């Protein structure tokens, strides 16, 4: 379980989150809100990329302030721009890099990389330049590099925003098929069909916490 207790966060004098208390246990949780509403900061709090200025965030009882590395093994994070996550020249090398501290042998790592590339339909690009892939393929690569570590939760911060319709559909279908619990920050409201719960952020606070249809209606009223 991810738990937030009276969480607030500020960047200098600018407060971006206020009084957030939540228990996240559902398989699929959506997060929506206007730009600047605090939702991306909220997403980064969930795996310790950002620690709260006030309050406490825990994952399975582990505090993000003191157990960040262990938490990031449990909670993977996918950024909006996959180029922010691609660190090595070729596709296979980039996926293998995620396992550098896994304790696996070279043969075991190679086998896992081969299996992961096949799963994400990237086998034909194993030796290709990672940065020359299409936008959709880059996002699949970023997800592959996260999911090869087998986290139990995946947090995605607007992973389809920079993609065209075809590639966005490809990534959204992949997310829908994952066994992991998913927390999805998105402006593409149709992606939340079938989700268990949707949080609406406004001015740093959760202003609605409900089923998708109710939460989306609330968000649309806010935007009017």
Domains of the chain and CATH, by start: 2-85+150-223 (3.40.50.300)
Q: Is the pTM of this model over 0.85?
A: yes
pLDDT of 10 reads 96
Q: Where are the alpha helices (DSSP H) in 36-184?
A: 39-45, 68-74, 91-97, 106-119, 135-147, 165-177
- pLDDT higher than threshold 90 for residue 163: no
Q: How confident is the model at residue 162 (pLDDT cuts 50, 70, 90)?
A: confident
Q: Which helix (H) or strand (E) holds 214?
A: helix 212-223
Instruction: Give the integer Cα–Cα distance in Å for 43 and 119.
Output: 26
Q: Tokens in use for 130? A: 């990672």
pLDDT tens for each residue of 39-62: 999 999 999 999 999 999 999 999
Tokens 């969930």 belong to residue: 46
């Amino acid at each position: 379980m991810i738990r937030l207790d009276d969480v607030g966060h500020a960047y200098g004098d600018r407060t971006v989150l206020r009084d957030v208390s939540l228990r996240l246990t559902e398989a699929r949780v959506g997060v929506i809100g206007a730009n600047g509403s605090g939702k991306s900061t909220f997403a980064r709090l969930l795996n310790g990329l950002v620690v709260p200025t006030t309050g406490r965030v825990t994952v399975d009882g582990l505090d993000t302030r003191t157990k960040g590395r262990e938490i990031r093994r449990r909670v993977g994070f996918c950024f909006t721009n996959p180029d922010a996550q691609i660190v090595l020249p070729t596709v296979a090398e980039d996926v293998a890099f995620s396992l550098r501290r896994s304790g696996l042998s070279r043969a075991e790592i190679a086998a896992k990389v081969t299996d992961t590339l096949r799963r994400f339909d990237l086998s034909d690009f194993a030796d290709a330049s990672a940065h020359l892939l299409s936008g959709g393929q880059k996002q699949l690569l970023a997800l592959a590099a996260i999911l090869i570590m087998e986290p139990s939760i995946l947090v995605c911060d607007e992973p389809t925003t920079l993609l065209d319709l075809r590639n966005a559909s490809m990534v959204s279908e992949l997310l829908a098929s994952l066994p992991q619990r998913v927390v999805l920050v998105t402006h593409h409201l149709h992606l939340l069909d079938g989700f268990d719960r949707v949080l609406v952020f406004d001015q740093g606070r959760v202003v609605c916490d409900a089923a998708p249809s109710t939460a989306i209606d609330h968000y649309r009223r806010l935007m009017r």
